[in-house]
Structure 1
């Protein structure tokens, strides 16, 4: 069977400064340009990309807006420190120990980060179609929504929408507009629905208006959208969460064993 080749001659319809920024962004996020390292000089970039000084400055401004580089006009532009964070979802899954806060908070605190969860909304609603399917809801069925914004060092990190079957959480603290001690995994375990299996579906999306504003996105960049479905005993789905984070600032790390 012949494997089709990528059409390398297909036109790139982005403006030149966007293409230049994309190439530099890839080198930064891929580790070819370390934190603190200087970018190639304007003269080098002009020669490499056959671009004007104004075009180069527009490309660099995109990277500055994305908080990937720092510098001012007429000075060297360098890569910012620790801009991309690696998220290990497995470290947040278990219920917190008694008296301990939500594991997302404690795990970030271990790394010296100031993590905070702000509850934006608690309401019964009709969830998105993929969430409803994951929870096994009937057509036009409703679920409980707990909507949060997570921040790290006072910067928006993730927009989180968690949905729960009403027959599980109705009449519990989950329906109240307040934080849950230990987080939802702890309360679900107390209600007799301990998390046994989590399934993630990760995709890159164009951000919605709410996501763009809440995450303070700098431009036309994708977000990482994770739909996580948590199953309890008997493979019963007890939680479906949509997590959205800036695609250029985060990567997800999953670990597997052979078998």
Structure 2
């Protein structure tokens, strides 16, 4: 007997989901006008209030904008693809952060805001990656990365204390060339990184930092960066707004 399953979301959530997918995948392009409310009512066979609730959701996500007397238009763009590999090589001291230089290539303004630098007992999976016991500590550097002044990624990066102590990483300031450059100078260049990407319900910290609309999930990347001899030198939890960005990986097939 075939299994059956029912989508128990409300009607307006289902409508918003369908329109959101058309926007993020490019079927509804930036500047495109949505059908009128009566047309959407007929298309989805729902009341006008249900259509309006769906449109309000997408306006709160900054994907739609209403123009009085004209209609509702697509404001957001297709999801922006971010390639993690381009940010890994160390930056020369005289060069801008790769986050900033890569944004410039796309015609965007990239910036960073350092939120916290502290010695902490890291989460369980971070301790596992570093081989620490339950009371083991690591250095946390927490920052928000922005594109065109819009918060894009909340980055919580952890470093072994025996590498970080006595270096600029312990100070609450930006590091010239970034941590990859500093670690390279210390004899620990990044050689490889492993990503585990999942979709998660955001914590309050993530909602506030990324200015997320209600009920919006995040993409959470758990990244371990290795140096020579497969030594872990950085472990990061990277949170991105799921409706704005997608990850792009290009892998050679041998």
Q: Which residue of 1 aligns with 2:18?
A: 23
TM-score between both structures, scaled by the size of structure 2 = 0.95
Is 1:128 the counterpart of 2:123 in the alignment? yes
Given that 1:101 and 1:183 are in contact with CA atoms closer than 8 Å, whether structure 2 keeps it comes out as no
- Superposition CA RMSD, Å: 1.6
Given that 1:87 and 1:250 are in contact with CA atoms closer than 8 Å, whether structure 2 keeps it comes out as yes
Is 1:64 the counterpart of 2:56 in the alignment? no
The CA deviation string for residues 133-192 of structure 1, in whole angstroms up to 9 with x for no partner, is 112222321000001011111111111100000011111110001100011100000010
Q: Which residue of 1 aligns with 2:71?
A: 76
Is 1:48 the counterpart of 2:47 in the alignment? no
Given that 1:88 and 1:252 are in contact with CA atoms closer than 8 Å, whether structure 2 keeps it comes out as yes
For 1:1-259, what aligned pairs fall within 5 Å after superposition?
7=3, 9-72=4-67, 74-82=69-77, 84-259=79-254
Displacement of 1:83 in angstroms is: 5.4
Counterpart CA distance in 2 for 1:164 and 1:98 is 20
Displacement of 1:81 in angstroms is: 4.7
Counterpart CA distance in 1 for 2:69 and 2:11 is 21
Q: Paired residues, what number?
A: 254
Given that 2:157 and 2:237 are in contact with CA atoms closer than 8 Å, whether structure 1 keeps it comes out as yes
Counterpart CA distance in 2 for 1:167 and 1:45 is 60
Counterpart CA distance in 2 for 1:248 and 1:136 is 35
Q: Which runs of 5+ in 1 are unaligned?
A: none
TM-score between both structures, scaled by the size of structure 1 = 0.94
Given that 1:116 and 1:151 are in contact with CA atoms closer than 8 Å, whether structure 2 keeps it comes out as yes
Counterpart CA distance in 2 for 1:171 and 1:131 is 22
Given that 2:153 and 2:239 are in contact with CA atoms closer than 8 Å, whether structure 1 keeps it comes out as yes
* DSSP-derived class of the 2:115 partner: strand
Q: Which runs of 5+ in 2 are unaligned?
A: none
